Structure 1
Amino acid sequence: MSGGSGAEDMFDSIVMADERFRGEGYREGFERGSRRGLLDGQRHGASHGAKLSTEISFYHGFAVTWKCLLQHNTDVKSRKRLKALDALLGQIQDSPHAEPQSTQLQIDVDKLRAKFRQVCSMLNIPADFKDFVKTSEGTSF
């Protein structure tokens, strides 16, 4: 009887070792996957945030430049253009771009893009952001 008990104990220890190693492997893999997922998420978020910041900064610079160019014109068309540029600048200032967790951010960015296209139409210039901003490799956003 004692021989059977020893064999059973050895068999149990083998089965238990297999279960223990499988559990440890799962935990280790899960932890590594979680860390990798967080790092990938941070990298993606930073990249997306940088592109969005570049786009909003471009709209701001665009509006300020055109406002300076048109500020001394007194004709009706120029006054309408200046009013639209002021509205674009107001939208930029009021948008929650400083709060990346804001649920309103995407809605405001879409409205900002629409206002930019409207202003470009009033100025008779192309409204595609890609026409204005190029990356260092020469490809557009």
Structure 2
Amino acid sequence: MAGDQDMFDAVVMADERFHGEGYLEGYEEGSSLGIIEGRRHGTLHGAKVGSEIGCYQGFAFAWRGLLHGCTTERDSKKMKVLEALIGMIQKFPYDDPTYDKLHEDLDRIRGKFKQLCSLLNVQPDFKISAEGSGLSF
């Protein structure tokens, strides 16, 4: 009689057991795919941010070389803003994706870059595309 009871319990409880097993399998597969998708998204977004910062840095270094020998008061202001931009770029936490003020710092760099462009009287056009990124004037 005990064997019949065990067999009956196995049949009645099969639905609940299969539901639990299916949930666990789905959860594990979803977690794995979520990690893969998150990594892909993070890599793409990080590459865009890195490309943008790299363009700003190249722009700043080129203008620092061009303005290095200038001594007028207006050029002094340009150099001050330029050095501030370079300092912000150098302090940017490239290797810390958990940095909580990453977007705030990026916005400050963008603002300083726009200020510098205004002082230099250039109209930048930063583009990110499938072929790569670029900064044109």
Same fold, TM-score > 0.5, yes or no: yes
- Length, aligned pairs only: 134
Q: 106, 109, 118: which one pairs with 2:106?
A: 109
Q: Does 1:129 align with 2:126?
A: yes
Q: TM-score, normalised by structure 1?
A: 0.82
Cα distance, 1:94 vs. partner? 1.9
Aligned to 1:28: 25
Equivalent residues of 1:67, 1:82 under 8 A apart: yes
Relative distance call for 1:100 and 1:80 in structure 2 (3 A) is same
Counting only pairs closer than 5 Å after superposition, residues 75-86 of structure 1 correspond to structure 2 as 75-86=72-83
- Give RMSD over aligned pairs: 2.5
* Greater RCO structure (CA 8 Å; 6+ sep): 2
Give unmatched runs, 5+ long, in structure 2: none
**Which stretch of the first structure deviates more once superposed, 73-82 or 22-31?**
73-82
Give unmatched runs, 5+ long, in structure 1: none
Give the number of the structure whose alpha-carbon radius of gyration is greater.
1
Aligned to 1:14: 11
Q: TM-score, normalised by structure 2?
A: 0.84
Runs of 4+ that moved beyond 6 A: none
**Higher percent of residues as strand:** 2
